[in-house]
Amino acid sequence: MPRRTIYHAVTERLEILDEHGNIDPELDPHLTAEQLLALYRTMVRMRLFDQKGLNLQRQGRMGTWGSLQGQEASQAGMALAMEPQDWLTPSFREHGLMEAIGVPMRQIYAFWRGDGRGAIYPPHVNCLPQAVPVGTQFLHATGIGLALKKRGERAAVVGCGGDGATSEGDFHEAMNFAGVFQTNTVFFIQNNQWAISLPFNRQTASETIAQKAHAYGIPGIQVDGNDALAVYVASREALERARSGGGPTLIECLTYRLRDHTTADDHTRYRSADEVAEWQKRDPIDRMFAFLAGSGVWNDEREAALRTAINQEVEAEVEKFEQMSPPPPSDIFDYFYEVMPWNLKEQREQLLTEVARC
Amino acid sequence: MLRTEPITGNDRRVAPAEVPKTTRMTLVQAVTRALYEEMERDPTVLVLGQDVGKDGGVFRATEGLYEAFGAERVIDTPLAESGITGTAIGLAVAGFRPVAEIQFMGFVYLALNQFFCHAARLRNRSRGRYNVPMVLRMPYGGGIRPPEHHSESYEALFVATPGIKVVIPSTPYDAKGMLASAIRDNDPVLFLEPKRIYRAFREEVPVEPYTIPLGKANVVRVGKDVTLISYGAMMRPTLEAADAVARDGVSAEVVDLRTLAPVDVETLTASVAKTGRAVVVHEAPKTGGFGGEVTALLNERVLMHLEAPVQRVGGFDVAFPPALLEDYYLPHRARVVEAIRRTLSY
Ligand SMILES: Cc1ncc(C[n+]2csc(CCOP(=O)(O)OP(=O)(O)O)c2C)c(N)n1
Ligand SMILES: [Mg+2]
């Protein structure tokens, strides 16, 4: 038999909550009411925190802002599954996930305002600064996962990126290394179906991103990225596998970017209002609301109270963010090396003299 | 009072009889116009890159091309700079003239392996059998307060890599004529667009195609006391500094290099031999920047004419800072004036 099938691949998709908020009883992860509400609160926080970023930008109080709206279920589902010892290597759109694991909103606002000090995170949060060069951070997740494994830590690292990022060579190298070294890594792709103006079907000829895992000999799964429960279950499984030395996993969350790529973009140039409206109907927050209301643990009144409370919290963060003193000019030199070389010392002096003169 | 001297740009003498019609346009419009004209006159010219098609490019530099020439010639690529560059090399080897866009120069590192190891060398490696007539174009430089990695000026890396031409226009007129030349050139050309001045001003630009030869600097102002040498977005603070010192009776000659590789050594040395003093201005970090190369060339060739050491005004030797601090980083008029005074008081 000279010609035969030597490899056969199957890729699974996981959905637990349908678009109307009905749960699949067989797949129900049986979260406690407390966990469910925490998950929901996290999603609403992301939405309101993100919306505030957009509003600030419109008022000229913010730099470029890349909205995460539409992707709350993906980011909150993963956040709920992460444990404090886990690591995160985020891209530019993971501010929701970062906030959920303990990065203060004011830091994230400051970062996108153009203040380098915004990437200072609380010491107990294992998170690298948001990576702007697309796809580069996956390899750091491979390396961190390898370090965790070498030290025998019961911890994992989540390497984030978008559908566009999976086209960069770094993504493939990261998965390949992780597969070979069996690192404690979870590759977490939010396929929001657009990379600026490029639709997913022009990004790759593959039907899914999840199936790319096969090529690297690691498990891969697609989940409904607007279903927080499905994301949570897949993330928990993958993180558990990674923490216990079972190697890396690729998770593809199929979701949708509801807003412009960033405030510098105009999405009406390249996609139809109908398409956006179609996805608005699948809003991840509405879906979770329907589920919680259906189970009797949530209602409009509690919703209103929650939104008021979160908005107050967001406003308080904005106030702290806006009260931050401007970064000192020396900030551009002071953290560049452990020991400052002569040329930086000289130039720093030169700049401070110039500033003092004006 | 400002004493402004007439602009004596040599290229502005394009015979008006041949190109009677002009229209006012910005630098980014001139880029678009050049792409359009070259695609129209040569069916092998292709445009490829991220968001260059339907979206018209994040700076609108390829606006309208997709509508005019279709998806076969204006190609939205997957998100991979090495992919864009390496594919362009293949297209170029096999008979096309690709103009590949990198969205921001901060992301060009991903393209370097292909551009340096192959585009720059293929003619030589194949002993002349293959050549790579491609243009790698991208916005570079600071001044628009974007997020990290959107303001870089890495031109010196390319100048240090044999096999590549490096072109940086500072005006709409130059942008159109030099991009046309870059596209028609049979060797790989890096074409850097100063995004800070993409829309900063308009000038009259001939509506017909024309070319400006690569490798020719432009003496944009004639003077006798000191030569100011710059390119791209830094031409503005350089000219402002020339105005400022003119008030004290200092007559500065201003050279817009326009092409960094191969640099117009004749214009440079002739000017400095005349003035005896030179200041080089760029926004890339001073250490390892193109200013060092200019200084070395002048030392090698006109040392005996120099009345003072060549002065360099560059960015600091740090990563381009986040938006709130970028004004502290970018060279400005006062820093250039200070450097002029240092050469004069030497
Ligand atoms: C290496 C690199 N190339 C280009 C860019 C410009 N850019 C920023 S985001 C983006 C699209 C990213 O798409 P995707 O990975 O799907 O993430 P999303 O924006 O949808 O979250 C591009 C092209 C960049 N930041 N880095
Ligand atoms: Mg995307």
Summarize pLDDT for B96-126 with one digit per residue, the tens: 999 999 999 999 999 999 999 999 999 999 9
Least distant ligand from the CA of A91: 1
What are the C-alpha distances in Å from A28 to residues A39, A230, A293, B135, B174?
A: 15, 9, 16, 55, 65
Q: Which of B103, B112, B113, B154 to mutate to test the pocket of ligand 1 (most atoms within 8 A of CB)?
A: B103
- pLDDT reported for residue A278: 97
Around ion ligand 2, residues with a beta carbon closer than 5 Å are A 162-163, 192, 195
Q: Does A340 touch chain B (CB under 8 A)?
A: no
Confidence label for B20 from pLDDT (cuts 50, 70 and 90) = low
Residue B244 in this model has a pLDDT that exceeds 50: yes
Cα distances (angstroms) measured from residue B79 to each of A165, B52, B56:
7, 12, 16
pLDDT in tens, B52-90: 999 999 999 999 999 999 999 999 999 999 999 999 999
- Predicted TM-score (pTM) of this structure: 0.95
Chain A residue numbers touching B321 (CB-CB < 8 A): 116, 331-332
The CA distance from B316 to the nearest CA of chain A, in Å, is 7
How far apart are the CA of A45 and the nearest CA of chain B, in angstroms? Answer: 24
Taking only the tens place, the pLDDT of each residue in A297-338 is 999 999 999 999 999 999 999 999 999 999 999 999 999 999
Q: Which of A68, A134, A256, A258 to mutate to test the pocket of ligand 1 (most atoms within 8 A of CB)?
A: A134
User: Looking at residue B17, what is its pLDDT?
Assistant: 54
**The tokens of B231 are what?**
């390119």
What's the pLDDT tens digit per position in B275-324?
A: 999 999 999 999 999 999 999 999 999 999 999 999 999 999 999 999 99
Of A82, A76, A70, nearest to A243 by C-alpha is A82
Question: How far apart are the C-alpha atoms of B263 and B292, rounded to whole Å?
Answer: 13
Which residue ranges in chain A fall short of pLDDT 50? none
Cβ within 8 Å, pair B145-A63 = yes
* pLDDT at residue A258 in the model: 98
pLDDT at B10 over 80: no
Nearest ligand (C-alpha, residue A134): 1
Q: Chain B within 8 Å of A168 (Cβ-Cβ)?
A: yes
Categorise residue B147: left if φ over 0, alpha if ψ from -120 to 50, beta otherwise: beta
* pLDDT score at B14: 46
Q: What is the Å distance from ligand 1's center to A67 Cα? A: 13
Say how far apart CA A116 and CA A133 lie, in whole Å.
16
- Name the residue facing B316 among A197, A327, A347 (closest C-beta): A347
Flag whether residue A165 sits within 8 Å of chain B, measured between CB atoms. Answer: yes
Closest ligand (CA of A67): 1
Residue B5: the pLDDT is 42
Q: Does A199 touch chain B (CB under 8 A)?
A: no
DSSP conformation letters of B156-182: HHHHTSTT-EEE---SHHHHHHHHHHH
Find tokens 């008022």 and name the residue: A59
Residues of A within 8 A of B59 (CB-CB) are none
Question: Residues in chain B whose beta carbon is closer than 8 A to a beta carbon of chain A?
Answer: 50-51, 53-56, 58, 76, 78-83, 106-107, 109-110, 145-150, 286-287, 316-319, 321-326, 328-329, 334-335
The secondary structure of A233-281, three-state, reads HHHHHHHHHHHCCCCCEEEEEECCCCCCCCCCCCHHHCCCHHHHHHHHC
What three-state secondary structure class fits B261?
strand
From A92, A167, A354, residue closest to B78, measured CB to CB: A167
Residue of B nearest to A169 (CA): B80
Domains in chain B, please, with CATH? 22-206 (3.40.50.970), 218-344 (3.40.50.920)
* Predicted confidence band of residue B127 (pLDDT cuts 50, 70, 90): very high
The CA distance from B275 to B306, in Å, is 8
Q: In whole numbers, what is the pLDDT of chain A averaged over residues?
A: 97
Q: Between A111, A168, A197, which is nearest B54 by CB?
A: A197
CA distance A332 to chain B (A): 6
Q: Quick one: pLDDT band at residue B256, thresholds 50, 70, 90?
A: very high
What confidence score (pLDDT) does residue A167 get?
98
A58 to chain B nearest CA, in Å? 15
Is B58 in Cβ contact with A264 (below 8 Å)?
yes
pLDDT band at B18 (very low <50, low <70, confident <90, very high): low
Half-sphere exposure at residue B65, Cβ-oriented, CA atoms within 13 angstroms: 33
Does B208 score more than 60 pLDDT?
yes
Q: Which ligand is nearest to the CA of A66?
A: 1
Q: Is the CB of A165 under 6 A from ligand 1?
A: yes
Percent of the residues in chain A that have a pLDDT greater than 90, as a whole number? 99
d(CA A74, CA A84): 18
On chain B, the residues whose CB falls within 8 A of the CB of A267 are none
Cross-chain CB nearest to A133 (options B107, B286, B326):
B107
Q: Whose CA is nearest to atom 20 of ligand 1?
A: A195
Chain A residues within an 8 Å CB radius of B318: 332-333, 336, 344
The finding on whether A264 has its CB within 6 A of some atom of ligand 1 is no
DSSP tag of A282 = T
Catalytic machinery residues of A: 257, 261, 270
Residues sharing a CB contact under 8 Å with residue A66, sequence separation 6 or more, in sequence order: A92, A93, A261, A262, A263
List B75's β-bridge partners, or say none: B48
pLDDT at A146: 98
**Which among B78, B286, B316 has CB closest to A204?**
B78
Per-residue pLDDT at B1: 39
Which pLDDT score, from 0 to 100, does residue B3 have? Answer: 39
Q: Which atom of ligand 1 is nearest to the CA of A190?
A: 21
Ligand 1: atom nearest CA of A66 is 19
pLDDT digits (tens, 9 = 90+) for A199-235: 999 999 999 999 999 999 999 999 999 999 999 999 9
Q: Alpha carbon B179 to chain centroid distance? A: 10
Contact flag B146-A64 (C-beta cutoff 8 Å): yes
Largest distance between two CA atoms of chain A: 84
Flag whether residue A192 sits within 8 Å of chain B, measured between CB atoms.
no
Q: State the pLDDT at residue A194.
A: 98
pLDDT at A358: 81
**What are the chain A neighbours of B328 within 8 Å (beta carbons)?**
329, 332, 351, 355
Residues of A in contact with B106 (CB under 8 A): 132-133
Ligand 1 midpoint to CA B108 (Å): 13
ipTM of the complex: 0.96
Phi and psi of B104, rounded to 5°?
-145, 150
Q: A195 CB under 6 A from ligand 1?
A: yes
Interchain contact, A344 vs B318, CB within 8 Å: yes
DSSP B320: P
Strand, coil or helix: what is B330? coil
A299: closest CA of chain B, how far (Å): 40
Lowest mean pLDDT among A1-5, B46-50, B139-143, B290-294: A1-5
